[in-house]
Amino acid sequence: MASAFLQRGQTTPILLLDRTELRRWLGQQNVTTRRWVENAGFTAKPGSHCLLPGRGGELKAVLAGKRDSGPLYQLSSLYKGLPKGGYHIAPENQDELLPAELEQLFLGWGLAAYRFNRYKRQSAGKARLLLPKALKPAVSALTDAQYLVRDWVNTPTEDFGPDELAAAVVQQAESFGADVGIVRGDELLTQNFPAVHAVGRACTRPPQLIHLSWGDEDRPGLSLVGKGVCFDTGGLDIKSAVGMLKMKKDMGGAAHVMAIARLVMQFQFPVRLNLFIPAVENSIAGNAYRPGDVIPTRRGKTVEIGNTDAEGRVILSDALTRACEDNPELLLDFATLTGAARVALGTDLPALFSNDDEVAGGLLAAGEQVEDPLWQLPLHQPYRRLIASKIADLANVAKSGFGGAITAALFLQHFVGRQIPWVHVDTYAWNDADRSGRPSGGEALGMRAVFHYLRARYR
């Protein structure tokens, strides 16, 4: 992250303008400048820019077309387009924006500078942007958090199985003095996490429940749960090749809650933080859990497995039960849970479910403010009948394929205490194509919305 920004030095101004502002600005320039801009064909079209030379041919300033869609991705397209050198945002632009908008503006630059360099060096932009001191803590923390999600999701399962995921959580915990407890392999049975074990037992890399805790125990409890399926083959109900291709990203929920936890610790929110990640691979082997099996859960409810590919909700059932044992004042889970949520809302809009309208409203509003939108879907109680089972307390898949994101959320609700305000986010954690500021591959979707909400709630 550090490399995309500068803290000091000689820099060239970037002036953001819309068409009207460009006309006014040109009116104040000499004829040479006016001709230059005209010949360059620069009309302040959103996303376009124009390099302005000084008398000696040196770069004097950059004009850039303003977007009307909000500040976040304003600078993202500039990042790769500018020549090597240091830049700053013109003071007049800084003055016209609120501090929160400025934060977004600079964050967009940081997000555009992301490269996944683990397996080969990717070409990066050579421009550096002067980051005002007051903005540095928030912009760098948010950039780092989003990079964490992208890096974790982009890393192939071979290098990011349950053990590596646990090690990565330990590494994060160490920087903040947090504690981590790990229940691994057959210990999951003795410690009563039977559902996590059932899903993960077919993999040679043992399943685990990772628990990070931080902050004084007498503070209000904030608990986070993230789906950590390091790879989802579908299990015995095996996925198609196309369906399986991206399934290294099925720990995206875990990455999202880790990023949120990091921000909570970094900004020292006055909470008792508990983070739970059930980490497994949904594999195929002779000892795999099967369609038709009935498995026990920590909550005591039995679950009939209608489809081994609906594994996320199964492991989350134990993690949510465990999280509720701390009686938190807010419980949030993130999961790449259903294809149905993507059919309903597309790739960019995570589905939000909640048993608390006030919290849901706050999160939706926060998402709007930071250009990280979420869309609420209902916990429609009558659909509970769809996940009833004849021989067990409930089934892990619905009788009807319709409303799949809702029936998955209703399944989770069975494992959340009625009195606990709870939010479930079904996210895609991925960009299918490159857009400026949003490279294809792993992506945080809904993470900044949650942070923005928590920031207002706890500070």
Per CB under 6 A, 281 contacts ligand BES: no
Q: How far apart are CA 155 and CA 252, in angstroms?
A: 11
Which option in ligand BES, Zn ion, none does residue 340 bind, with CB closer than 5 to 8 A by kind? ligand BES
Per CB under 5 A, 315 contacts Zn ion: no
CB of residue 260 to ligand BES, shortest distance in Å = 20
Per CB under 6 A, 274 contacts ligand BES: no
Q: How far apart are CA 365 and CA 355, in angstroms?
A: 17
Q: Which is nearer to ligand BES, 88 or 248 (CB)?
A: 248
Q: How far apart are CA 345 and CA 361, in angstroms?
A: 18
Question: How many CB atoms lie under 10 A from the CB of residue 419?
Answer: 9
Known catalytic residue at 239 = yes
Terminal Cα distance for the chain, rounded: 26
Please identify which residue in 281, 304, 309, 372 interacts with Zn ion, judged by CB under 5 A: 309
* 248 in Cβ contact with 230 (< 8 Å): yes
CB of residue 89 to ligand BES, shortest distance in Å = 37
**Residue 313 in tokens:** 């909700």
Question: How many CB atoms lie under 10 A from the CB of residue 27?
Answer: 8
Per CB under 5 A, 312 contacts Zn ion: yes
- Greatest CA separation found in the chain? 84
Please identify which residue in 221, 278, 312, 403 interacts with ligand BES, judged by CB under 6 A: 312
Please identify which residue in 103, 281, 309, 333 interacts with ligand BES, judged by CB under 6 A: 309
Q: How far apart are CA 333 and CA 323, in angstroms?
A: 10
Strands 272-282, 221-226: parallel, antiparallel or unpaired by DSSP? Answer: parallel
Which option in ligand BES, Zn ion, none does residue 333 bind, with CB closer than 5 to 8 A by kind? none
Please identify which residue in 307, 376, 389, 413 interacts with ligand BES, judged by CB under 6 A: 307
* 264 in Cβ contact with 172 (< 8 Å): no
Per CB under 6 A, 304 contacts ligand BES: no
Please identify which residue in 151, 232, 333, 443 interacts with ligand BES, judged by CB under 6 A: 232
> What angle separates helix 99-112 from helix 136-154, to the nearest 10 degrees?
40
Per CB under 5 A, 232 contacts Zn ion: yes
Please identify which residue in 103, 151, 237, 250 interacts with Zn ion, judged by CB under 5 A: 250
CB of residue 424 to ligand BES, shortest distance in Å = 14
CB of residue 293 to ligand BES, shortest distance in Å = 15
Please identify which residue in 50, 198, 229, 319 interacts with Zn ion, judged by CB under 5 A: 229
Known catalytic residue at 313 = yes
Per CB under 6 A, 404 contacts ligand BES: yes
Per CB under 6 A, 153 contacts ligand BES: no
Which residue pairs from 242-251 have beta carbons closer than 8 angstroms and sit at least 24 positions apart in sequence?
246/430, 248/153, 248/155, 248/156, 248/157, 248/160, 249/153, 249/336, 249/429, 249/430, 249/442, 250/282, 250/312, 250/336, 251/152, 251/153, 251/160, 251/165, 251/226, 251/227, 251/279
**Contacts to ligand BES by CB under 6 A:** 232, 250, 307, 309-312, 336-340, 342, 397, 404, 428
Which residues in this chain contact Zn ion in the complex, by CB under 5 A? Answer: 229, 232, 250, 309, 311-312
Q: Which residues are catalytic?
A: 239, 313
